[in-house]
Amino acid sequence: MGGGKEPEALVFGAELRCLWGSAHNNLLTKDYASKGINGLPAKFVVTDCIPGINIMPFGDCDAGDQCVYKWKLASEWTNPGVQNETFGDKAIITTASQLVCDAYGMFILPVNSGQNSDIGKQLILLAELDSELLEFLMNPFNSIYTPNDISQEVLDMLDQIVNSDLYGGSISLIGQGTKDIMGPIILACIGHLVPGAHVSDPGLLLADMENMISRTKIITDADPRNLDSELFAILKADSVLCAREVANGGWDKFQQEHKKLGAFLADLVTTAAYVTIMYAGMQGQQGGNYQNNTNEDSSNTTQNRQPQGQTQQGQVQQGQTSGGNPVNSPDFVVTPNGDVIPVPKGATGPVDVVNPAGNVTGQAYTGGSGGANGQVSNVRIMDPTPPRGNSPGYPNGYVKYENSMGQGVDPNTGRTLPNSQSHFPLGP
């Protein structure tokens, strides 16, 4: 590193960048409960480079298209010189380490070690929150007051955040506290609890919080800029008033006011949704059945059956990079081996892929409109197949994108491909 600074070991939440990527992300691990440096999981080693598990896509690639379609990460990080410090039996990685993307020979580099950042702690706190409630709050058109009043659940989540070790009972609603990973979650809670609150404009939000205090007619010294125990008590009292107004027929007004959240949530979800969904997956959300078979795709059909959870090949995690999608319409899925598979826009699933013999041969997401021409309708994630005829065989399974006619297509352009080019092998 510049200035002779000694390289630092990377910990959970270390910021990473790709020299050709449009976005940074953070170093992650499933074992986030372990504690190391500064209370964060550590230390990461040279093999901690699994796509979709340790590292998420870096936005758009300078070579064209999205990183998730292009990237091909090396199997290990490289260290300059000899790294004598190990964890287990493997060398650790530091701020001087590099990871090659074999797609174009470009480097992925640490921006910082994460040791002096709150990002890792925010990610851990995020993992401890109710993922289903988070998903609900990310839809700006949901109401926490009707048809069922779940405002207390939202208040409980907000209380869990504010009184965590990270925030210590007080967080600024106007200052830097709203601009980190947890900030969008906090503002989403406020926006749903106080319909009409201008959560995307700090000045207007301050006025909204002052009006909320006046509306409750509670005499208080609460500071409308800081969410602490005093302001929390006001927020709780106001939520009772909101629930009462909805119950008494005031829903039309509230419905319109809720829509003010839309543009803000659409922007904020792209900032943090990938970690939210990843941790939702770590907490138990999973995909459908995989069964070993020897049947090729021409005889397979999809059936609209609900997935059965844990499978022979393991779990498939679903993820989103934009707000408001149904939980069964992810932007991508991650296989147990770390393959990140983009899902056509609007496609839903997973549904079983069933051959004529009635065997489940994979799973699919169907009914989308992806690709440059909008013709990429389905993606099928298929089980391993042996070599047969002109097929080379796919020992780890394969992915195939299709249009609405069942023809194989290029996932980027949507143009049809011959059968020999439309099967994308999955990695080991």
Q: Could you tell me the CA-to-CA distances from 139 to 143, 322, 348 in Å, in that order?
A: 9, 10, 17
Residue 274 lies in a domain: no
Pairing of strands 25-26, 86-87: unpaired
Answer yes or no: do 142 and 54 share one domain. Answer: no
Residue 281 lies in a domain: no
Q: Which of 208, 231, 263 is the last residue of a domain?
A: 263
Answer yes or no: do 189 and 320 share one domain. Answer: no
Spell 83-109 as b/e; 16+ CB within 10 A means b. beeebeeebbbbbbbebbbeeeebebe
Q: Are 123 and 13 in contact (CB under 8 A)?
A: yes
pLDDT at residue 253, rounded to an integer = 53
Give the three-state DSSP class for 179: coil
Which is nearest to 189 in space by CA: 204, 165, 173?
Answer: 173
Strand partners for 318: 333
Which is nearest to 13 in space by CA: 105, 96, 122, 92?
Answer: 122
Crossing angle of helices 182-193 and 229-247, in 10° steps, is: 40
Q: How far apart are CA 97 and CA 94, in angstroms?
A: 5
Is the peptide bond between 43 and the residue preceding it cis, with omega within 30 degrees of 0?
yes
Answer yes or no: do 125 and 252 share one domain. Answer: yes
State the first-to-last Cα distance of the chain, in angstroms, to the nearest integer.
Answer: 34
Residue 406 lies in a domain: yes
DSSP 106-160: EEEEES--STT-SHHHHHHHHHHS-HHHHHHHTSTT--SSSSS--HHHHHHHHHH
Answer yes or no: do 136 and 109 share one domain. Answer: no
Q: Are 390 and 404 in contact (CB under 8 A)?
A: no
Answer yes or no: do 181 and 64 share one domain. Answer: no
Q: Could you tell me the CA-to-CA distances from 266 to 182, 200, 272 in Å, in that order?
A: 16, 11, 11
Answer yes or no: do 246 and 124 share one domain. Answer: yes
User: Six-digit token pair at 57?
Assistant: 């896509």
Residue 268 lies in a domain: no
pLDDT at residue 267, rounded to an integer = 46
Residue 280 lies in a domain: no
Answer yes or no: do 368 and 424 share one domain. Answer: yes
Residue 134 lies in a domain: yes
Answer yes or no: do 305 and 255 share one domain. Answer: no
Q: How far apart are CA 84 and CA 86, in angstroms?
A: 6
Answer yes or no: do 67 and 107 share one domain. Answer: yes
pLDDT at residue 338, rounded to an integer = 67
Answer yes or no: do 123 and 257 share one domain. Answer: yes
Give pLDDT tens digits for 351-360.
888 765 667 8
Give pLDDT tens digits for 7-53.
888 888 889 999 898 888 888 765 655 556 656 666 788 999 988 77
pLDDT at residue 248, rounded to an integer = 78
Answer yes or no: do 247 and 127 share one domain. Answer: yes
Domain tally, the chain: 3
Q: Which of 117, 138, 162 is the last residue of a domain?
A: 117
Tell me which H or E stretch contains 97.
none
| Residue ranges in 248-348 assigned as alpha helix (H) | 251-258, 262-282
Supply the range of the domain harboring residue 11.
1-117
Answer yes or no: do 56 and 184 share one domain. Answer: no
Write out residues in the chain with pLDDT < 50, as ranges: 1-2, 176-178, 256, 259-260, 263, 266-299, 301-317, 319-327
Q: For residue 352, what are the contacts with CB-CB under 8 A and spacing of at least 6?
A: 288, 289, 302, 303, 305, 307, 360, 362, 363, 364
pLDDT at residue 304, rounded to an integer = 34
Q: Are 302 and 353 in contact (CB under 8 A)?
A: yes
Residue 22 lies in a domain: yes
Residue 190 lies in a domain: yes
Give the three-state DSSP class for 38: helix
Q: Which of 117, 135, 170 is the last residue of a domain?
A: 117
Which is nearest to 280 in space by CA: 123, 164, 419?
Answer: 123
Q: For residue 49, what are the contacts with CB-CB under 8 A and spacing of at least 6?
A: 55, 73, 74, 75, 76, 77, 99
